[in-house]
Amino acid sequence: MEKTIRIGTRDSELALWQAHTVQNKLIELGYKTEIIAVKSQGDIILDKPLYELGITGIFTKTLDIAMINGQVDIAVHSMKDVPTALPMGIIQAAVLKRANVLDILVHKNNTAFLEQEGTIATGSLRRQAQWLFKYPNHTVVDLRGNVNTRMQKLHDNDWNGAVFAAAGLERINLKPESYLNLDWMIPAPAQGAMVVVAMANDGYTLEAVTQLNDIETEICTYIERQFLRTLEGGCTAPIGAIAKYNEEQDIIDFKGVLLSLDGKQKLEVDKIVPIEEWKKLGFYAAQEILKKGGSQIMTELRKQLKPKA
């Protein structure tokens, strides 16, 4: 049986770039494809911070429904937007080779504010908390919308800068000259990685898509997302994690962080383990954080992030 694999995606420029990347790889393998773009609630509701919407996977839910209803066969996502627990019947089919993992500060050709007071924009509680930990005298304002919308809002407002994922800007050639690499900021779990999900019972599509999987990226993102899941943090909690494989030494280097919303409390974990121990690394690292006071921080976060009625 030969069928056309229908690729579901959000309709933003970045999401479409990701979908076309997967499409081109499948075409190279000899498969027929079609792209179907839909708008998610996360793209439509821009006047509320994400945590107030109270929906885990707000950017993925619409595509999940389209897949379950048989309107699309696969969905392509920025992996950091995907909840750690997928809906019944949907599975992770492939993780593509990871791009740049860093966060960057896009500024207005002036970084003097870093030594003074300043205003930074981001819709991410993880970025907000880490920024306030490093720059406690700064103000952080909410910034929502797709990458293009956020860049325009930065231009239109008197903020000093805004924080973006480097990979997103690089993929659609939007990375300006006026930026700083935030190598001190721990990225979101699975940042820089793209994931393809499919229906568990769709053998034809799974056989096609699994050929796109990058095993090193799959392992590293698994560790990071296991860390996130063990802390019981949704996509919006101030949790960062990065795992890197060192091929020469055959080891995994992992860093994880949990912060309070105001950035005043910060718990870190740093682990280096042989590659054979990767399967439980995220779990053990999260347990270490929870024992060091992370349980209390998570309890407080749940109260603060409770959706507003």
Q: Catalytic residue positions?
A: 81
Residues making up the chain, counted from first to last? 309
Question: Which residues touch 290 (CB under 8 Å, ≥6 apart)?
Answer: 230, 231, 298
Beta bridge partners of 76: 196
Cβ atoms of 261 and 235 closer than 8 Å: no
What's the angle, vertex CA 80, arms to CA 3 and CA 31, rounded to 5?
15
Query: Distance between alpha carbon 284 and the CA centroid of its chain, in Å?
Result: 21
Cβ(244)–Cβ(186) below 8 Å: no
Give the amino acid at 97.
K
Determine contact, residues 51/236, Cβ cutoff 8 Å: yes
- For residue 213 the two structure tokens come to 């999987």
**Rounded Cα distance, 143 and 230, in Å:** 28
Whole-number Å distance between alpha carbons of 30 and 37: 22
Residue 18's nearest CA partner among 167, 220, 222, 175 is 167
Which SS3 state, helix, strand or coil, does residue 32 take? strand
d(CA 7, CA 34): 6
CA atoms within 13 A of residue 257's CA, in its CB half-sphere? 21
